[in-house]
């Protein structure tokens, strides 16, 4: 069992480390995503660099990086007790998320903010909790016209949503750790939101 857990953790980190946006934009646009826009390797910057198709493809890949390892852990640990499955599922979710933040393939630098990868992992562990956070994201991003604002709102809502949905301290702790790291990774976005210089999702043209 110990060997299995170690292998799952290694797989989760390696999967989470895959820079999906960087690879996709490099293949289809022949440019380095780190040198465009915000320099972030996530879906939002991939959309800016290559359009909505590449942005959505990056989003899907990043979600799968989080969901895949956690789902595999649950499948392998199916015969274990509920508490044991939660512990290892939560650990694997955090590790996959950390891989996106500190990717091995990029020498632990220039990682993304981890929102999509976190959503994938939490979505397997607590679907209802994720829906709660997603609702906050849609509402705030729609009103503010800024992805970062929606992401921060989702991060704030996530631990409460998971707790109310599952009443599990393990899953809530996992969600809290992930949420705090997401907020920390958004520190530059927070500064730009305060100053009013954060890029918008779509342009709002004034009527002439």
Report residue 33: phi and psi, to 5°: -60, -25
Answer whether residue 201 is part of any domain: no
Indicate the pLDDT class of residue 204, thresholds 50, 70 and 90: low
Answer whether residue 203 is part of any domain: no
Answer whether residue 148 is part of any domain: yes
Indicate the pLDDT class of residue 79, thresholds 50, 70 and 90: confident
pLDDT score recorded for residue 93: 98
For residues 187-200, average pLDDT: 94
Answer whether residue 200 is part of any domain: no
Answer whether residue 202 is part of any domain: no
pLDDT score recorded for residue 205: 55
The rounded distance, in Å, linking the Cα atoms of 49 and 157 is: 29
Answer whether residue 76 is part of any domain: yes
Q: Which residue has the higher pLDDT, 66 or 1?
A: 66
- State the total domains in the chain: 1
For residues 183-201, average pLDDT: 94
Per-residue pLDDT tens digits for 100-144: 999 999 999 989 999 999 999 999 999 999 999 999 999 999 999
Per-residue pLDDT tens digits for 37-48: 888 999 999 998
Q: Which long-range contacts (CB under 8 A, 24 or more apart) does 21-29 make?
A: 21/45, 21/46, 21/54, 21/58, 21/61, 21/62, 21/112, 22/106, 24/50, 24/54, 24/57, 24/58, 24/61, 25/49, 25/50, 25/54, 25/58, 28/54, 29/54
Answer whether residue 75 is part of any domain: yes
Answer whether residue 184 is part of any domain: yes
Residue ranges making up the domain that contains 23: 2-195
For residues 183-203, average pLDDT: 93
For residue 14, give every residue at least 6 positions away whose Cβ sits within 8 Å of its Cβ, in sequence order, or none: 99, 104
Per-residue pLDDT tens digits for 138-179: 999 999 999 999 999 999 999 999 999 999 999 999 999 999
Instruction: For the chain, give the percent of residues with pLDDT over 90.
Output: 86
């Amino acid at each position: 069992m110990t060997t299995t857990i170690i292998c799952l953790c290694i797989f989760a980190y390696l999967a989470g480390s895959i820079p999906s946006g960087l690879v996709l934009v490099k293949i289809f646009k022949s440019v380095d995503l780190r040198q465009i826009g915000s320099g972030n390797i996530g879906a939002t910057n991939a959309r800016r660099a290559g359009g909505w198709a590449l942005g959505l493809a990056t989003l899907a890949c990043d979600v799968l990086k989080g969901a895949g390892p956690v789902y595999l852990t649950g499948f392998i640990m199916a015969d274990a007790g509920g508490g044991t499955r939660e512990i290892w599922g939560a650990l694997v979710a955090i590790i996959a998320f950390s891989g996106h933040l500190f990717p091995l393939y990029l020498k632990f630098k220039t990682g993304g903010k981890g929102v999509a990868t976190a959503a994938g992992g939490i979505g397997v562990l607590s679907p209802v909790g994720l829906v709660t956070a997603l609702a906050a994201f849609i509402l705030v991003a729609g009103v503010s016209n800024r992805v970062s604002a929606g992401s921060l709102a989702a991060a704030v809502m996530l631990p409460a949503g998971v707790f109310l949905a599952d009443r599990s301290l393990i899953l809530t702790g996992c969600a809290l750790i992930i949420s705090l790291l997401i907020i920390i990774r958004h520190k530059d976005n927070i500064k730009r939101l305060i100053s009013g210089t954060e890029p918008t999702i779509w342009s709002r043209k004034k009527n002439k």
